[in-house]
Amino acid sequence: MQAVSQEEGAREALRERLGVGARYDAAAAPARELGWARRGTAYFARKLNELRDEALDGASLIPGWSRRHVVALIGYQARWQALAIEQLRTGEAVALPDQAEQAGQIVLAATLPARALRNLFDHAEVHLNVEWRDLSNSLWERSVRDIDGGSVAVRATPWIRARALWVHAVDLDNGGAYLDFPLGVLDALVADIVGHWQSAGTVPDLLLQPTDRPEPVRLGAGTTAVNGRMADLVRWLAGRGARRLEHSAPELPALPAGPYLVGRHSRLTSLI
């Protein structure tokens, strides 16, 4: 209780310093995931800003997609999340695109002038961050509509955003690396991928042995051992290729489809 009181006291002191009208996260907000999303925004922005305008026409690590498509995807994901949360917060109806419309918007945005494409990313991420900061404790416990007509928990949106930012920052193929990811993000990505395989009934028989973690990760029967740094294991599990991995089988096994399918059918293009 004392720690909670100290934390609330620090929060109140911050509010006083920021003054009237300042925005800050509600106490019930998922602080860890918001931190990952905001760090991911800064990381993606850095890799994007390092690219000259003409370099945006170059290929990304997503087959068939230029870097322009990746920037458009990340920009629009923030916009769609922000609009869904704004609709919840204000109660006013907002037109949200279905999956086909999302794909069309990404393709169209990829043709924008470089400055407009960069502005899409900048403005959309600011809008989303404002919406997160304006959510009350009770609204963090609500849900918003996803593109399939179902719903997704509002408190899940920061992680959904974070994973897209980190994974697609590397997809820009501009020196980004899974080794740059926060350790917690790497662990959460593994849990995400394994959870997807479990839901699909396609869990491979692997014994993942991170050289920089104390415990292995056993999947299925754990038939094939794969060793490497956690960052390199996650890169492989996410379908982005194998680097610096050692394995007990003659060849690395083929992995089942994961949640981070690339291209226009990626689930990362949606609110969920």
Q: Has residue 269 got a pLDDT over 60? A: no
Would you place residue 95 in the very low, low, confident or very high pLDDT band (cuts 50, 70, 90)?
Answer: confident
Residue 263's pLDDT is what?
44
Q: How many beta carbons lie within 10 A of that of residue 61, not counting itself?
A: 18
How far is it, in rounded angstroms, from Cα 247 to Cα 16? 56
In this prediction, residue 5 carries a pLDDT of: 58
Across all residues in the chain, what is the average pLDDT?
89
Which of the residue ranges 21-30, 85-94, 207-216, 217-226 would you say has the lowest mean pLDDT? 21-30
* Average confidence (pLDDT) over 259-263: 58
Model confidence pLDDT, tens digit, residues 61-77: 998 899 999 999 999 99
Q: What is the mean pLDDT of residues 1-30?
A: 69
Note every long-range contact of 186-195, with CB atoms under 8 Å and residues 24 or more positions apart, other chains counting.
Answer: 186/230, 186/231, 186/234, 187/230, 188/36, 188/159, 188/163, 189/163, 189/234, 189/237, 189/238, 190/217, 190/230, 190/233, 190/234, 190/237, 192/163, 192/259, 193/237, 193/238, 193/258, 193/259, 193/260, 194/219
Residue with the bigger pLDDT between 148 and 191: it is 191
Q: Average pLDDT of 135-146?
A: 93
CB–CB of 83/94 below 8 Å? yes
More confident residue, 107 or 7: 107
Report whether pLDDT(4) > 60: no
Q: What is the pLDDT of residue 176?
A: 96
How high is the pLDDT of residue 7? 57
pLDDT score, position 260: 67
Residue 264: pLDDT band (50, 70, 90) is very low
At residue 58, the 3 state secondary structure works out as coil
pLDDT digits (tens, 9 = 90+) for 9-20: 666 676 677 666
Confidence of residue 129 (pLDDT cuts 50, 70, 90): very high
What is the pLDDT averaged over residues 213-219?
94
Q: Count CA within 13 A, CB hemisphere, residue 166.
A: 30
CATH superfamily of 29-176: dinb family like domain (1.20.120.450)
Q: Is the pLDDT of residue 255 over 70?
A: yes
Residues of the chain with CATH 1.20.120.450: 29-176
pLDDT at 11: 60
Q: Is the per-residue pLDDT at 272 higher than 50?
A: no
Per-residue model confidence (pLDDT) at position 146: 77
